[in-house]
Amino acid sequence: MQNLPKKMPKRIVIYAKDVENITGRKIRAARKLLQRIRQQNKKPKDAFVTVKEFCKFTGMGEDEVREFLLD
């Protein structure tokens, strides 16, 4: 049996730099958007925002968003 390379899982967390890349907004506006998503989901100030939460909030499709995620 061959040792097949394991496929790396897709990232599930979205960062302000990703939001900046996706929306074209400045980094400060991207941070504010992530903060509004945290507030809506009743998350602590420093909690991660998932791609799914971001997509639900913005109405964007996950496939579209994942194309723009930075590595």
Domain ranges of the chain: 13-67
Q: How far apart are CA 10 and CA 1, in angstroms?
A: 26
Average pLDDT score over residue span 2-17: 80
pLDDT of residue 37: 98
pLDDT of residue 4: 67
For the packed helices 51-58 and 27-40, what is the interaxial angle rounded to 10 degrees?
90
Q: Phi-psi region for residue 42, left (φ > 0), alpha (ψ -120 to 50) or beta?
A: left
Q: Which phi and psi (to 5°) does residue 49 adopt?
A: -110, 130
pLDDT digits (tens, 9 = 90+) for 24-47: 999 999 999 999 999 999 999 999
E strand spans, the chain: 13-14, 49-50
